[in-house]
Amino acid sequence: MANQILSKKERLAIPRQKMPEQPPQIRNRNFEEVNLGFDVETAVREAQRCLNCPKSTCIDGCPVRIKIPAFIQLIAVRDFLGAARKIKEDNLLPAVCGRVCPQEEQCEKTCILKGKFEPVAIGRLERFVADYERQQNSATAFPKNAKLTGKKVAVVGSGPAGLACASDLVQRGHAVTVFEALHEFGGVLVYGIPEFRLPKKILRFEINNLRQMGVEFVANFIVGKTMTIDELLTTGGYQAVFLGVGAGLPWFMNIPGENLMGVYSANEYLTRVNLMRAYEFPSTDTPVRHGKNVVVVGGGNTAMDAVRTAKRLGAETATIVYRRSEVEMPARIEEVHHAREEGIIFRTLTNPIEFVADGTGWVHKARCLRMELGEPDASGRRRPVPIAGSEFEIETDLVIMAIGNGSNPLISQTTPDLRCNKWGNILAEPESGRTSKPGVFAGGDIVTGGATVILAMGAGRSAAQAIDEYLQTGQWSFDI
Amino acid sequence: MHQIITAEFIAPQIKKFIVEAPLIARKRQPGQFVILRVWEKGERIPLTIVDGDPAQGTITLIVQGIGKTTRHLNLLSAGDYIHDLVGPLGRPTHIDKFGLTVCVSGGVGTAEALPIAKALKQAGNQVIAIVGARQRELIICESEMRAVCDEVLISTDDGSYGIKGFVTQVLQDLLQRHRPDFILAVGPLPMMAAVAEQTRPFGIKTMVSLNSIMVDGTGMCGGCRATVADKTVFVCVDGPEFDGHQVDFAEIGRRQRQFVEFEAQALREFEQTPPPVHHCRLSEQLNPQAEE
């Protein structure tokens, strides 16, 4: 197909291209990626749908402001490596973001086509470009770093916020060290998000790109324990510290039976499977319980990841129990849709009140109440209210609590002059990420509470900008 | 990668390692632990830091080979590497001048009690250690304990050394003669539960060191949770030491057994085909990052 000049009408006539997927009844038995990605022709066809509008509203929907129409035009003219370079001007982790960003809430939501037509599949195109570049084994698309400034920045946590911050700082010529508590880099991208949504080798490739750009990575290092922030700023020789440590302290409901055998937090369950690769036990050493009837409590992306993982590990029934209705579920629509296709059972407007043990101490039943929706609550969503006398039981041998995370106390415990709110979240200025402690910035879930990968990346990037300014001016202000 | 400087068996199946870990050696305090992985597909297990030498940049670990991972670790020798080592984790023991203190330990728990006994002594306490094991060969760290305690009382289940019987019997006798101000119990769960029951009527502050199953060790997974004073705690960040009179030992006992079938399977396969322990130093230097 030659490089065509299409009229607007012709562009609008092209249907949004479908993402090829593994068939549901095959993929729910394996850990291979669900979405297979566009081929070249599909990508070009999808790119031709973009009207390249002068007022690019899609960019406003992107937390890191990728030059979306520009990279899509490059795809349309088949300059895929050029498209990769264009994306990397603003985002060094396109293979990750193309997979896990909620585009329907961001760039694709603000695409001009949305409404009368379907929005351009921006996320799928971003992913295509990143995968194409990787498969071409072409690492040519690195933006050039600025001249070395001689300044050192410590980035704490190698999740999305930390990686985004590190990539911006290294490009501005600062020496960057990323400290990670676990033995592998990526934070929630490696311990939380399953292989079937984000293959580890893709994450490693993107992290390795950062390494090649000069970012130093240190594993098995717990800031607050192995070294405090004050030590980093003094003996460590760092002029600034960015805290992107994530939320990282799982919530439970405080209902009876939550500590029974066979009740996990989603963090534990997913960490065992993803980071520790328990699905390969016994060739790996970490085990995980394989439930027959698995109940996952929660309605977010983590809940979907956990329930779909349980299905893949052989569960006969894998059930989401969520207290509100499907409309209020915080999970991405695509994840809910994929879960349904894979045979996940949804029990919405249902809330557990107790987990009951069998005679040997293993969880055996979830006692639940049916709920109905009342008036909107503080989150703007309609509050779930229990229906009197609606109690019933679900048989289960594995319960996974996926109701969110509080803030991890390790850093605040050892940094008394770092101010936190009453929930333990670090207080940081929304744009700059500046905290109450001069030289220390924070962003991502440790500031906002549990949110999304791309929001954390956005916070990491805007903090990088503020860190760069601070390193040049030495000026500090904090106003919260 | 952390190099093992020395490794020697100090009792059947119990090995003492001195490991290069300069940052941990500098920071660690009594009662804290590390998480380690023996090899690239290994599980993460917590181990108490027995001692640390900031000048040498080393820490001491004492490991009883029970399951696959500890048996695998005990195959390693001086010059070998521990794949991953992170710490120090957990809250340090609260050391104060209490007066008369007693450290009760069973089996390999004596290695965990040792740094705490030492710190209690340095804080000006009178320290009595009650050290127990099944038989004489399994009594460890006796001379180290004697070096830091005012008195060391020994018991073995079979009477092959010291008093015949459990540490709880020795403690019972002691409680008839003395009224300690502080008791620490480290060892098997039933032993710690029994000690807590013994001291409860006397209202003696009794701390126990819980050894839960952990994955990350930083509060992220919640696998180590226990019930203390009717509240859920995370042993890794809230502990590992808790008021023994408030701990729900039965629940911890159950939670520790969650993976017994898997553990048995892993051990069986390990015994049939032990993993290679020879490390190619060159490849480690060339590929510092573990690849799949």
Residues B24 and B138 in one domain: no
- Judge whether residue B279 has pLDDT over 60: no
User: Does B95 fall in a domain?
Assistant: no
Q: Does B255 touch chain A (CB under 8 A)?
A: yes
- Judge whether residue B289 has pLDDT over 90: no
User: Does B80 fall in a domain?
Assistant: yes
Average pLDDT over residues B211-224: 94
Residues B41 and B185 in one domain: no
Its ipTM equals 0.91
Distance of CA A125 to the CA centre of its chain: 18
Domains in chain B: how many in total? 2
pLDDT of residue B281: 54
Q: Across all residues in chain B, what is the average pLDDT?
A: 93
Residues B240 and B146 in one domain: yes
Residues B287 and B208 in one domain: no
Average pLDDT over residues B151-176: 95
Residues B26 and B143 in one domain: no
Q: Which of A222, A261, A271 sits opposite B254 (nearest CB)?
A: A261
Q: Do A410 and B237 touch (CB under 8 A)?
A: yes
Q: How far does B241 lie from chain A, in Å, by closest CA?
A: 17
Instruction: List pLDDT tens digits, range A79-99.
Output: 999 999 999 888 888 999 899
Check residue A119 and report its DSSP letter.
Answer: P
Average pLDDT over residues A313-331: 95
Which of the four pLDDT bands, split at 50, 70 and 90, describes residue A105? confident
pLDDT of residue A121: 96
Q: Is the distance from CB of A411 to CB of A243 less than 8 angstroms? A: yes
pLDDT of residue A147: 86
- Residues in chain B within 8 Å Cβ distance of A406: none
pLDDT of residue A64: 80
pLDDT of residue B276: 67
Residues B161 and B222 in one domain: yes
pLDDT of residue B284: 54
- Residues in chain B within 8 Å Cβ distance of A267: 220-222
Average pLDDT over residues A273-283: 94
- Judge whether residue A425 has pLDDT over 70: yes
User: Does B278 fall in a domain?
Assistant: yes
Which of the four pLDDT bands, split at 50, 70 and 90, describes residue A140? low
User: Does B94 fall in a domain?
Assistant: no
Q: Is the distance from CB of B5 to CB of B19 less than 8 angstroms? A: yes
Which of the four pLDDT bands, split at 50, 70 and 90, describes residue B290? very low
User: Does B220 fall in a domain?
Assistant: yes
Q: Which of B84, B254, B257 sits opposite A183 (nearest CB)?
A: B84
Q: Does B75 touch chain A (CB under 8 A)?
A: no
pLDDT of residue A56: 92
* Residue in A with minimal Cα distance to B234: A249
Residues B191 and B277 in one domain: no
Q: Do A410 and B219 touch (CB under 8 A)?
A: yes
Residue with tokens 């396969």: B269
A409 or B79, greater pLDDT: B79
Residues B146 and B226 in one domain: yes
Got the DSSP string for A258-284?
Answer: TTSBTEEEHHHHHIIIIIS-GGGTTSS
Q: Do B218 and A248 touch (CB under 8 A)?
A: yes
Query: Which residue of A286, A407, A410 to mutate against B (max B Cβ within 10 Å)?
Result: A286
pLDDT > 70 in chain A, percent: 98
Residues B109 and B146 in one domain: yes
- How many pairs of residues across A and B have Cβ atoms under 8 Å apart? 123
Integer Cα distance of A294 and A347 in angstroms: 12
- Residues in chain B within 8 Å Cβ distance of A410: 218-219, 237
Instruction: List pLDDT tens digits, range A41-63.
Output: 999 999 999 999 989 999 999 87
Which of the four pLDDT bands, split at 50, 70 and 90, describes residue A187? very high
Q: How far does A286 lie from chain B, in Å, by closest CA?
A: 5
Q: Do B292 and A285 touch (CB under 8 A)?
A: no
- Residues in chain B within 8 Å Cβ distance of A258: 232
- Residues in chain A within 8 Å Cβ distance of B21: none
* Residue in A with minimal Cα distance to B216: A182
Q: Is the distance from CB of A371 to CB of A323 less than 8 angstroms? A: yes
CA atoms within 13 A on the CB side of A205: 19
Mean pLDDT: which of A100-109, A410-419, B52-61 is highest?
B52-61
Query: Which residue of B59, B89, B221, B267 to mutate against A (max A Cβ within 10 Å)?
Result: B221
pLDDT of residue A28: 92
Average pLDDT over residues A400-420: 90
Residues B133 and B222 in one domain: yes
Q: Which of B69, B234, B258 sits opposite A285 (nearest CB)?
A: B69
E-strand stretches of A181-224: 216-218
User: Does B55 fall in a domain?
Assistant: yes
Q: What DSSP element (H or E) covers A205? A: helix A200-212
Lowest mean pLDDT among A240-254, A338-352, B116-130, B278-292: B278-292
Average pLDDT over residues A355-371: 96
Q: Across all residues in chain A, what is the average pLDDT?
A: 93
- Residues in chain A within 8 Å Cβ distance of B266: 281-282, 285, 287
* Residue in B with minimal Cα distance to A267: B221
pLDDT > 90 in chain A, percent: 78
Residues 6+ apart with CB under 8 A from B96: B123, B182
Residues B271 and B250 in one domain: no
Domain extent, residue B271, equals 2-89+264-291
Average pLDDT over residues B61-88: 95
Q: Which of A200, A262, A410 sits opposite B218 (nearest CB)?
A: A410
User: Does B241 fall in a domain?
Assistant: yes
CATH number of the domain at B158, please: 3.40.50.80
Residues B137 and B243 in one domain: yes
